[in-house]
Amino acid sequence: MTRVLVIGGGQNSEHDVSLASASAVAAALRAGGHEVSEVTISREGMWQVPDAPPPASAAESLAQALSLLADIEVVFPAVHGLLGEDGALAALCALAGVRVVGSDLRAGAIGMDKWATKLVAEAVGIRTARGRLVAASAIGDVEYDGPVVVKPVSAGSSHGVTLVQDAGDLLGALEEAAAHDDRILVEEVLHGREIDVAVIREAGGIRWAAPALEIHAAGLFDTATKYDGSARFTVPAALTATEGAVLKRAAVAMFDALGCAGIARMDFFLTSEGPVLNEVNTMPGMTAASQVPRMFAAAGVSYEDLVDRLVRAAVVPGAAR
């Protein structure tokens, strides 16, 4: 039995997804015999600490939340996106000397940045989509030279991601991405199967990849398809032994290159020339019906077992070894 604080919500467009992940994680940890407390971060950044007097500011709410950290053994930060998955909560735990589930500040921050992720991937020989970085202040200068995917460098849940197939749609797509980030990626359109691979690093340091999952989305896997229940997944994905092995090797190599911990989901396109990494999620969706738990279920690891393993694997991030 471990005393675990589950954090949900968060100050970004994935707030509601994080609430769903957090409540599912908390329930499964309780079912597994852990003593669980929960705190939610509002969209405005207020930590909603149960039974605490109404805070006058976000800073005061954080001070209240810090007292929770003093009473628990492990933090499970089920917060996707900015000021959560990007390493912010891992950094808070590092400063407080508290064990935390998942990646540290560095892996979270690089994984959240789709441009930096490309640089790391290419450096270890993993292909990514060719793309260029555009400052939000310079979107008027971008010329249309064929179909592209436009996306914010740091966002999630497909917010601000657009497939542009017509010159007249380019500026609108860039403006949409600029609403999410001041850095924008303009990428070549990849054609291939969308295959995700989840990697876990367990207590003791062994890491392994679960069977891959294929997303069947007609066109772009957009926000509506992600959450309206219409997305179809195949787990395990129908892959040849070679395809499966190549994808797993790339996923683990990326996990290691970033120095991830806990769990990470590496999303690929399987093209005619092999796997191309699309993006990395260091705190992927964690309801029982989300992709990562379904991949581990295919490996014989139940949802309750999965969250329990993550708690057991938690360390104080950045601690000298």
The residues that touch ligand ADP, with contacts defined as CB under 6 A, are 129, 149, 151, 155-159, 161, 187, 189-190, 194, 217, 220-221, 267, 278-279
Between 35 and 122, whose beta carbon lies closer to ligand ADP? 122
Least distance (Å) between residue 129 CB and ligand ADP: 4
Peptide bond connecting 236 to the previous residue in cis, omega within 30 degrees of 0: yes
Least distance (Å) between residue 79 CB and ligand ADP: 15
Least distance (Å) between residue 112 CB and ligand ADP: 9
- The tokens describing 173, both together, are 């797509």
Least distance (Å) between residue 89 CB and ligand ADP: 18
DSSP 169: G
Between 40 and 225, whose beta carbon lies closer to ligand ADP? 225
Between 274 and 318, whose beta carbon lies closer to ligand ADP? 274
For residues 10-33, b (16+ Cβ closer than 10 Å) or e, as one string? Answer: bbbbbbebbbbbbbbbbbbbeebe
Between 190 and 235, whose beta carbon lies closer to ligand ADP? 190
- HSE at residue 143, side-chain half, CA atoms within 13 A, is 1
Q: What are phi and psi of 315, to 5 degrees?
A: -130, 170
Residue type, 165: Q
Between 220 and 297, whose beta carbon lies closer to ligand ADP? 220
Residue that the structure tokens 């994905």 belong to: 237
Between 47 and 269, whose beta carbon lies closer to ligand ADP? 269
Least distance (Å) between residue 254 CB and ligand ADP: 14
How far is it, in rounded angstroms, from Cα 270 to Cα 238?
Answer: 12
Between 191 and 321, whose beta carbon lies closer to ligand ADP? 191
Between 73 and 144, whose beta carbon lies closer to ligand ADP? 144
Least distance (Å) between residue 151 CB and ligand ADP: 5
DSSP 317: T
How far is it, in rounded angstroms, from Cα 165 to Cα 72?
Answer: 51
Residue that the structure tokens 């876990």 belong to: 200
Least distance (Å) between residue 291 CB and ligand ADP: 11
How far is it, in rounded angstroms, from Cα 100 to Cα 119?
Answer: 27
Least distance (Å) between residue 167 CB and ligand ADP: 18
- The tokens describing 203, both together, are 């207590």
Cβ-closest residue to ligand ADP?
Answer: 221
Where are the strands (E) in the chain, listed by range? 3-9, 35-41, 47-48, 74-77, 99-100, 127-128, 131-135, 148-152, 162-164, 183-188, 193-201, 207-209, 213-216, 232-234, 263-271, 274-281
Least distance (Å) between residue 69 CB and ligand ADP: 29
Between 115 and 312, whose beta carbon lies closer to ligand ADP? 115
- The tokens describing 265, both together, are 């989901």
Please give the radius of gyration of the chain, using alpha carbons only, rounded to the nearest integer. Answer: 19
